[in-house]
């Protein structure tokens, strides 16, 4: 079935002007045109639009969304699961803030002081700060204070939206690897995801050399915090990821013919 731009605008709640812009930047190009040159969208186009809107809600830029959706290994199901996880956390935080407002209003009307912890319920950046601290601890343990300070300096500049986007990408990579465990650590798609994982660390956290990356794999099986966290994505994933990282590093160090 084909849909005209006005129909897509109405069903998706997106302006016609926005749809034209997405076409102009090749983010969402309609699959067909009428003889008169009018855009016609397919069901597949609407599925892509859904992904665009979910990624936007989480905090990704349009250029980042285009890069992800156009990637040959893009997994719609894994992306939806990651988006759901992040939106559930966002929903929980919004609900907590609403409850905090209600309690504050009741406190004002009743002339009573609120418990100081309740006063800031839902406004905390605790999860983000814990995620940030995990990386700092990881680097400090493996590579010393100087590297840790560089990591802390880089990550401290990120906003809440930055962290949400980073965590969604991080989560998606883990899910990609977990979904291919039965194919072995040397599987081409596993290795590509491992390479994306290393790139993610380099881009957002610290310069992850091959030696550092190999050491990181060891941490994943020797530190219960990391082992338990990673294995939430699939039983035995931490050990599997270690082997996949070793395979990746060994391959990268092989001399080219």
Q: How confident is the prediction along the chain (257 residues), in pLDDT tens digits per residue?
A: 899 999 999 999 999 999 999 999 999 999 999 888 899 999 999 999 999 998 888 777 888 888 888 887 778 888 888 778 777 877 777 787 777 777 777 777 776 665 555 555 554 555 555 554 554 555 455 444 555 565 666 667 777 677 777 877 888 898 899 999 999 999 999 999 999 999 988 888 777 888 888 888 888 888 787 888 888 888 999 999 999 999 999 988 654 44
Q: H/E element holding 166?
A: helix 160-179
Choose among 7, 19, 90, 88: nearest CA to 52: 19
Q: Are residue 179 and residue 249 in the same domain, yes or no?
A: yes
Q: H/E element holding 63?
A: helix 62-69
Q: Are residue 131 and residue 237 in the same domain, yes or no?
A: yes
- In the listed set 31, 49, 69, which residue is the last one of a domain according to the structure? 69
Q: Residue 56: which domain range? A: 3-69
Choose among 183, 191, 174, 193: nearest CA to 234: 174
Q: Are residue 61 and residue 81 in the same domain, yes or no?
A: no
Would you state the structure tokens that stand for residue 98, as one six-digit string?
Answer: 């609403």
Q: Are residue 34 and residue 93 in the same domain, yes or no?
A: no
Question: What's the DSSP call for residue 32?
Answer: E
**Number of structural domains in the chain:** 3
According to the model, what pLDDT value does residue 17 have? Answer: 94
- In the listed set 43, 69, 95, which residue is the last one of a domain according to the structure? 69
Q: Are residue 15 and residue 119 in the same domain, yes or no?
A: no
According to the model, what pLDDT value does residue 106 have? Answer: 79
Q: Are residue 63 and residue 94 in the same domain, yes or no?
A: no
According to the model, what pLDDT value does residue 257 have? Answer: 40
User: For the whole model, what pTM was predicted?
Assistant: 0.48
Q: Are residue 242 and residue 132 in the same domain, yes or no?
A: yes
CA gyration radius for the chain?
22
According to the model, what pLDDT value does residue 191 have? Answer: 95
| Residue 144, domain CATH | 1.10.490.50
- In the listed set 54, 69, 84, which residue is the last one of a domain according to the structure? 69
Q: Are residue 120 and residue 130 in the same domain, yes or no?
A: no
> Hey, is 186 helix, strand or coil?
coil
Bridge partners of 33?
A: 39
Q: Are residue 166 and residue 248 in the same domain, yes or no?
A: yes
Choose among 72, 18, 59, 27: nearest CA to 45: 27
Render 3-28 in DSSP notation, one character per residue. EEHHHHHHHHT--HHHHHHHHHTTSS
Q: Are residue 130 and residue 249 in the same domain, yes or no?
A: yes
Q: Are residue 50 and residue 143 in the same domain, yes or no?
A: no
């Amino acid at each position: 079935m084909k849909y005209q731009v006005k129909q897509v605008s109405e069903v998706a709640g997106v302006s016609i002007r926005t749809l034209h812009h997405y076409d102009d930047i090749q983010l969402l190009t309609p699959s067909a045109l009428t003889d008169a040159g009018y855009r016609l969208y397919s069901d597949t186009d609407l599925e892509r639009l859904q992904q665009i809107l979910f990624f936007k809600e989480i905090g990704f830029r349009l250029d980042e969304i285009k890069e992800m959706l156009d990637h040959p290994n893009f997994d719609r199901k894994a992306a939806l699961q990651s988006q759901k996880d992040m939106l559930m956390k966002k929903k929980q935080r919004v609900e907590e803030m609403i409850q905090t407002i209600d309690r504050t209003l009741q406190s004002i009307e009743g002339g009573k002081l609120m418990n100081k912890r309740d006063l800031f319920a839902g406004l905390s950046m605790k999860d983000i700060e814990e995620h940030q601290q995990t990386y700092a601890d990881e680097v400090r343990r493996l590579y010393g204070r100087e590297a840790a300070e560089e990591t802390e300096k880089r990550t401290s500049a990120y906003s809440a939206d930055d962290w949400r986007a980073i965590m969604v990408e991080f989560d998606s990579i883990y899910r990609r690897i977990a979904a291919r465990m039965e194919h072995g650590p040397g599987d081409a798609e596993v290795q590509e995801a491992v390479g994306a994982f290393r790139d993610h660390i380099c881009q957002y956290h610290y310069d992850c050399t091959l030696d550092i990356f190999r050491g990181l794999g060891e941490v994943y099986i020797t530190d219960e915090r990391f082992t338990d966290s990673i294995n939430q994505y699939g039983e035995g994933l931490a050990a599997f990821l270690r082997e996949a990282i070793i395979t990746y590093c060994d391959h990268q160090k092989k001399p080219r013919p």
